[in-house]
Amino acid sequence: MRRLSTRAGATLSSPPTNRKEKTEVVETLHAGIDQLKASIAKLTEDVTELREAVAELDATRTKATKFCQEEKAKNTACVYAYMSLCAYPCLHVHVSPRQSSFRVFQYIFCTSKMYHGTSQM
């Protein structure tokens, strides 16, 4: 004869023979079903919360990526301005002093804006 196992841990070595035993087994099984349904409901709620959290993290990551790309573009512009002033002066042989001072101002303005948020000039 096969062994029946109930949720509460009681093991039946033979099928229940009287009405009372059958009722106890059914009640035990129903209690196990109720516990499993409650567990499913809780896990479903947890999954919903986690999906919302992942969606929020994705939105934040997208926003941060956009911000980083904008900052990279600003930084690239400042580096180019610096390189055009200092690293490659031979490229600007025909630049007037006024244009040269304007480029220095552009570089200072760009870097102060980048590192301080806004320019104080």
Q: Left if phi > 0, otherwise alpha if psi is -120 to 50, otherwise beta: which for 2?
A: beta
| DSSP code of residue 18 | S
| DSSP code of residue 13 | S
**Alpha helix ranges (H) inside the chain:** 19-82, 97-116
Angle between helices 19-82 and 97-116 (to 10 degrees): 160
Contact 109, 119 (CB under 8 A): yes
Can you give the pLDDT of all 121 residues of the chain as single tens digits?
344 555 555 555 566 678 888 899 999 999 999 999 999 999 999 999 999 999 999 999 999 999 999 888 887 877 777 666 665 555 545 555 566 666 667 667 766 766 665 544 4
Full-model pTM: 0.48
